[in-house]
A and B are shown apart, each in its own frame.
Chain A
Amino acid sequence: MPGTIENNCAGKRFKALDSGLPFLASQAAIELDNLLLGRNVDLKAVTQLAERLERSTEQVAGTEDRKSLMDPATISVFSNAIAESGIERVQTLAELASGAWKIARELQGSREDSDKQRIGRLKTFCTYLAQSAVAHERALYEMQSANNNWS
């Protein structure tokens, strides 16, 4: 099924160029918002987003540090979301990778998390991530439309 949670997530890394990212991030924000409102939610999108974020970093051998596996477009979308939401302070690629890993872990634990402020921050991050991904996809589409030079 196109553009759906199921279609987007199996085995995938976090990539800005995946057109399912805007909906996934938006759905994750809705789920966290509903969680804060005390509604019954399944957190499917939250889990899928967390898995994708986890797979976008890898551990640096022999250390606790993380290394980013994101391509530049994804780095751009993700770091915009981090900066706008203020969820983590990120100045370097290494901090970006650590931030992605930390957010992934927090998303995974959100159902059992009693810290409403943390859930709120995660919700804000997912909201900005969706906005950043929407803007990126719109820009790509406009670039493609403006550059139809025979494809």
Chain B
Amino acid sequence: MLPLTYARRRIRAVLEEIGRLKDSDFPYSHSRDALEQLDRLFQERLTSLESLTGQNDPGVIKTACSESLLQVFKYLPLLGFILRSTNIRNSFEIFGPLLRLARQVLGPDIKLIVSSEWEYSPHVYKPIQDLPGYVLLGLPACESGNPLLVPLAGHELGHTTWQLRKLADDFEPAISNGIEEQVRAQEGQYKDLFGGDLDDLFVAQNLAPAHLWALRQSEESFCDFLGVRIFAESYLLAFAYLTTPGIKRRSELYPNMKDRVRNLLRASSTFGVDPPSEFANWFIDESTPTSNEKERFLLKIADIARSSVVDNLIARANLIASESHVPGREHKKIDAVLSAFKLLTPAASVGDVVNILNAAWQAFDDEHLWKRVVEDRIDILNELVLKSIEILEFEERTRQTE
């Protein structure tokens, strides 16, 4: 049966590619470990496909082929991500400090892969469900050497935290209740759009998109809050650098940008973080992504359901960071780093990457820093930040061996 032959050949091609990738020069072992896991996943698919014969039900065969095709579709981009983790455009200096941070939050078995993306979006791969215990951080390729964007790792760490701590299970009941409340409160509009009663099976199916969007928006919000909680002001500035003023069209999977910024400010206030005074005005409002009335209705109730859990999401991010004893931002340490930078020297004895990055952003915003002393201020700053992070890593490793 040709679909089965093709499916087997496709999986073998993926396995051969994984074999080639394993020969790459990886700066740390976690990339290769991920390849081993993916190798096992595809070996299992091949074994399953090879067990099928012409006697098996054609429907069963085609379904198995379809499922294996889904895995190729899902994981080919991830294999590219892993390959790009070897590229010297990445700042390998950040690996050690970020891994330590990730392990503080999620435990000693967590692995990290830092890579680059040829999409303008720091990325965490949703297939992390099939690679549990990995944080995958990919910065846009043109910014992969920019250490000032490292605070965005706080958001990416949030996604892995959301998955491993099963936070969706915790927040789902409140979201479901919120959606149900909204639908009952707007029963007339629901019936006009969808027909039927509120108590039949089809309500759940009709509302499934709203449920998904509210859950995903909640996850994205949680990730923002964890980013602010860990990286303080540097998270807000890195976020703004990457996204301001925004692009007019909104995504259903994220809060509207104005909402997102408002919630970031709410979290900042809770955590004692000081945003720039004009932060909210840096972002444009976004239009609703659809003119379809049903989808607009569903998006509206999703937004309301997500809004109802924002305070709890902020509290949860705070709790997780506090319980993990993640180092906080300290003005004294930031001042010490800045003093070193002013002398065109990297900082030493800082103890954590959070304060280095907050100092870096303050230096970035200080247009008078090194005025008339250096030509390319930002290039020099980036070098000093990376060198400071390298010194941090050296100090930590020395401490561990003593």
Contacts and interface: CB of A to CB of B under 8 A. Distances in A.
The reply to whether chain A is a binding partner of chain B is: yes
Interface of A: 1-4, 7, 17-20, 22-23, 26-27, 29-30, 33-34, 37, 71-73, 75-76, 79, 90-93, 95-96, 123-124, 127, 130-131, 134, 137-138, 140-141, 143-144, 147-151
A44 B5 CA distance: 25
Given A2-B40, A18-B129, A76-B208, A138 B73 contact: yes
Interface in B106-121: 119, 121
B211 A147 contact: no
Contacts of B73: 138, 141
Interface stretch (B20-28, B248-256, B276-284): B248-256
B292 interface: no
Given A18-B129, A123-B57, A26 B64 contact: yes
A148 B121 contact: yes
Nearest to B207: A72
Contact of A90 (B51, B59, B201): B201
B119 A2 contact: no
Interface string B50-70: 011001110110011011001
Contacts of B252: 143, 147
A92 B220 contact: no
Contacts of A96: 201
B67 A23 contact: yes
B40 A26 contact: no
Given A33-B60, A144-B126, A149 B67 contact: no
B201 A79 contact: yes
Among A90, A137, A150, residue most surrounded by chain B Cβ atoms (within 10 Å): A150
Contacts of A134: 63, 66-67, 70
9 contacts: A2-B40, A2-B131, A19-B130, A33-B56, A33-B60, A75-B204, A79-B205, A143-B253, A149-B250
B3 interface: no
B123 interface: yes
Contacts of B211: 71-73
B127 A19 contact: yes
Contacts of A79: 201, 205
B41 A2 contact: yes
A143 B213 CA distance: 11
A4 B41 contact: yes
A123 to B, nearest CB: 7
Nearest to B140: A150
Contact of A140 (B63, B126, B168): B126
B175 to A, nearest CB: 9
Contacts of A150: 121-122, 242-243, 254
Contact of A138 (B70, B159, B200, B250): B70
B71 interface: yes
A73 B242 CA distance: 32
B148 interface: no
Contact of B251 (A27, A73, A92, A149): A149
Contacts of A27: 48
A48 to B, nearest CB: 14
Nearest to B206: A72
Nearest to A90: B201
A147 B262 CA distance: 21
A117 B186 CA distance: 46
A106 to B, nearest CB: 18
A15 to B, nearest CB: 9
B44 interface: yes
Contact of A91 (B172, B201, B208): B201
B336 interface: no
Contacts of A23: 45, 67, 71
B37 A26 contact: no
A141 B41 contact: no
Contact of B254 (A3, A30, A137, A147): A147
Contact of B123 (A29, A95, A123, A148): A148
A72 B70 contact: no
Contact of A141 (B52, B60, B74): B74
A2 B37 CA distance: 6
Given A4-B41, A27-B48, A127 B253 contact: no
B38 interface: yes
B150 to A, nearest CB: 15
A3 B71 contact: yes
B126 A30 contact: no
Given A2-B132, A134-B70, A147-B254, 9 more contacts: A4-B41, A27-B48, A75-B205, A123-B57, A123-B60, A134-B66, A138-B70, A144-B253, A149-B250
A151 B153 CA distance: 10
Contacts of A143: 252-253
B121 A149 contact: yes
A72 B204 contact: yes
A17 B57 CA distance: 27
Given A143-B253, A147-B254, A150-B242, A93 B63 contact: no
Nearest to B134: A2
